[in-house]
Each structure stands twice: as C-alpha cells, then as structure tokens.
Amino acid sequence: MPTDFASLRSQFDLPEGVIYLDGNSLGPMPKAAAARVGHAITQEWGKLLITGWNKAGWMAQPAAIGDRIARLIGAEAGSVVMGDTLSIKVYQALAAALEMNPERRVILSDTGNFPSDLYMADGLCRTLGPDYTLKTVAPEDVAGAIDDSVAVLMITEVDYRTGRKHDMAALTELAHKAGVLTVWDLAHSAGALPVALADCGADFAVGCTYKYLNSGPGGPAFIYVAPRHQDVARPALSGWLGHEAPFAFDLDYRPGAGVERMRVGTPPVLQLAALEASLDIWDQVDMADVRAKSIALIDRFIAGIEARCPSLTLASPRDGKQRGSQASFRHPEGYAIMQALIARGVIGDFRAPDILRFGFTPLFINEDDVDKSIEIIRDVMDRALWDQPEYKTRARVT
C-alpha cells in the first residue's frame, strides 16, 4: 500500500503560520509525543518506580527500538541498539574498528563531515598515541585516498551543508578491497532516504534520532554493528549495560552478546518514549515512497528559487539521486537572509560561512508548503528585507 502522506502530516503538531524546513536539524513534535512521555512519567516511573525496568520494559527498549530503526536503514534485526549521543557512538565505532585493523593507524574522512565526528576522531587518536592520525581530504577525493595505509574510513553519507550524498555501496566496496573498515554516519540519512547497510556490506554505522526521526531535543543516538563483527568488536566505552551479565556485578568486564555490548550506561527512558511516539508514525512509511516524494519536493523548490531568486546560488547537487533530503543555497548575506525568513515563518538553517539550508520531508511538508516558501523567499530577496541590523547580529547559536 502506498504511503499516505496526508495522514502522516496530520500526526504532527505544526505551529500555525510556520513552514518548517528544518526537520533536518530538529524534527517537529508528533501529536502523540506528550501523551506517550506523560504515560512513561506518571504511569511507569510514578507507579512502577524501580520495577519499571522490567515491568515497563525499559531495560529492553534500546534493542527493541533499535530493531524498528533497523528497518529504515536496511539493517539486519539485532544489529542496532540505542543510547548516548551520536558523538559517543562515533567514538565507539571508531575505537572498535581501529582495533580490528591493528596493523594500520589512519582514520580517513573528508572535510564535508560534520565537525563533531572529526573532533571525536581527533580525540580518540590523541588517546591512542602519536602513531594514530586523522586524515581528511575533500569529499570528491575520498575514493582516491583509500589505500592500504587506512584502517578506517569514517564518512557521513549526506553532507550537512550541501546535501551532497556519498555512494555508500561504491565506497564500502573500495574500502573493503583495500582492507579498510567503514564507519558510516547516517545523521542526515536515517529517515531521509533509503539506506541499505546490509546490502552495502557496511561495517559500522551511527546516527541520531532528533532530525528526520523526530524524537525531540536530545533524543538518543543509535549504533549499527554488522552481525559478522558483533562478537569481535570491543566496546572501548565498556559500561555495565554492555556487560554479559550486568546484574551479576562482577568486577571483570565481559562484553555481552551481539550489538548490545555497545550499550554503556542507563538508557534515557523519557527520550526513548518520545522516540517511540515518532516510530509509531514511521512504522506506516515506505522509505521508497519517502524518497520519491522528497526528490519531487526538492526539485520543485530548486526550480522555483532559481527562477525567482537569481542571487541565491544552488549549493546542492541538481540531480536528486546525488543528494539527501535538503536543498542548500549560498549567499554572502546568508545569515541575515535566514533570520529574515525565520521572522516570516519560513524556518531553515544557516550554516557558516554562507549556506542557507532547507530540509524537506514528505512526512509533514507538501507541495503547497514548497510553493508558499518560495514566494516568501522571493519577497525577502526582491525587497532586500534581510538588510536590517536586527538580522545581522549573530546571537543565534544553532
């Protein structure tokens, strides 16, 4: 049955007068979220107290929810587990992959990666010692830089600024041919487009849930470990909930079975409850339908902006298959333009130095939103409404 996008949209609470093109930064609130979290607080925490870990299933949530996300990213059942933040999961995946390739010392990434991934890799290299290095090349030079000096290829599939999409299947194959393990960051992929981790033979993957997966501010991350690696990968962050028998309280660490060894501490039950409300919506979705409609919406947006706003320069690939679920444009006054747009109800993101970023997801954005946003952007550009001191003061932190 084809995905019913009108029904999906009706399951989100969207403020009046807002066209929200920033679900790729923080997804909007599912209408069911407050009730679901309220239930977790008053009926589970409030009434079950400590027994909620068993009776309400809190302890099993990270794996159970991982399986629901696995479907959206082409992962095997039992290969995804929730917890921590994306940066922490990057560290875990990198540390495990480096140890599995012990003769090599280089992490290869690209300058289009999200900075926090690079920071975490840099931190890990410093902890491991001076032999270890993080090497970054331009996104278009990644394939050529994969050689037998590289231990791990760490790539964010979709560039957070431009939306340019790497070819996961091709890069993973190249990496494996050179004896390189892969860590894929799906921050701008999960819920944005079909991902095929198992089919691509990916080794590790990580992602967050507060963007396209709409889990709310501070929602937890996920980590994928290919089944063939699960009993080999050592959790460098070896917390008790990744232990084979957490409640034996043994003094020695023994990693648990499967991907659950990548759990660290107590799972964020309230954030996971919000995520569950969102996954109830995602369960109704076919990712192929999402992808087709996302490309159509963005093609429409790009055509409209290019026709009406010649001073904005497309920064995203024109070919829908080459990009994620966003369209970005460059303008030297990008910051002020975005503030002016936000003041008029078109919410996107500014990303330094000059990127206006607009995220599209058919779960709650339709053609009418696209057309209206084009008109508002045209008006702001035609009348230079952004040219106000109030829009040029950089007080905004995100």
Query: Active-site positions?
Result: 114, 185, 210-211, 357
**Minimal distance in Å, beta carbon 307 to its own copies?**
28
Residue 247 in marked binding region: no
Asked if residue 251 binds its own copies (CB under 8 A), the reply is yes
Between 295 and 337, CB nearer to its own copies: 337
Kind plus residue range of the DSSP H or E element containing 91: helix 86-99
CA torsion 284-287-289-292 (nearest 10°) is 150
Between 1 and 397, CB nearer to its own copies: 397
**Minimal distance in Å, beta carbon 176 to its own copies?**
25
Between 102 and 310, CB nearer to its own copies: 102
Asked if residue 227 binds its own copies (CB under 8 A), the reply is no
Between 110 and 203, CB nearer to its own copies: 110
Residue 346 CB-density burial (10 A; 0-12 exposed, 13-18 middle, 19+ buried): buried
Calpha distance 173→171 (Å, rounded): 5
CA–centroid distance for 260 within its chain: 20
Asked if residue 47 binds its own copies (CB under 8 A), the reply is yes
Please tell me what DSSP assigns to residue 333.
T
Positions 59 through 88 that interact with its own copies (CB under 8 A): 59, 84-88
Calpha distance 132→394 (Å, rounded): 37
Asked if residue 57 binds its own copies (CB under 8 A), the reply is no
Torsion-angle region of 279 (φ positive above 0: left; ψ -120 to 50: alpha; else: beta): alpha
Between 115 and 332, CB nearer to its own copies: 115
Kind plus residue range of the DSSP H or E element containing 144: helix 142-145
Positions 254 through 273 that interact with its own copies (CB under 8 A): 264-272
Positions 173 through 202 that interact with its own copies (CB under 8 A): none
Positions 284 through 303 that interact with its own copies (CB under 8 A): none
Residue 210 in marked binding region: yes
For β-strands 133-137 and 150-156, DSSP reports them as unpaired
**Minimal distance in Å, beta carbon 339 to its own copies?**
11
Residue 188 in marked binding region: yes
Q: Hey, is 357 helix, strand or coil?
A: strand
Positions 105 through 134 that interact with its own copies (CB under 8 A): 111, 114-116, 118-120, 122-124, 126-129
Residue 204's identity, in one-letter code, is F
**Minimal distance in Å, beta carbon 115 to its own copies?**
5
% helix, strand, coil for the chain, step of 5:
45, 15, 40
Positions 149 through 168 that interact with its own copies (CB under 8 A): none
Asked if residue 100 binds its own copies (CB under 8 A), the reply is no
- Token pair of 348 as six digits: 């996107």
Residue of 42, 284, 388, 393 interacting with its own copies (CB under 8 A): 42
Between 266 and 322, CB nearer to its own copies: 266
Residue of 4, 7, 38, 311 interacting with its own copies (CB under 8 A): 38
Residue 87 in marked binding region: yes
- Give 233's contacts (C-beta < 8 A, 6+ positions apart): 96, 97, 99, 100, 204, 225, 261, 262
Asked if residue 7 binds its own copies (CB under 8 A), the reply is no
Please choose, from the candidates 271, 275, 281, 320, the residue with its C-alpha nearest in 3D space to the C-alpha of residue 300: 320
Residue 114 in marked binding region: yes
Q: With CB under 8 A, what is the number of residues at the site for its own copies?
A: 94
Positions 321 through 380 that interact with its own copies (CB under 8 A): 342, 347, 349, 351-352
Torsion-angle region of 112 (φ positive above 0: left; ψ -120 to 50: alpha; else: beta): alpha
Asked if residue 237 binds its own copies (CB under 8 A), the reply is yes
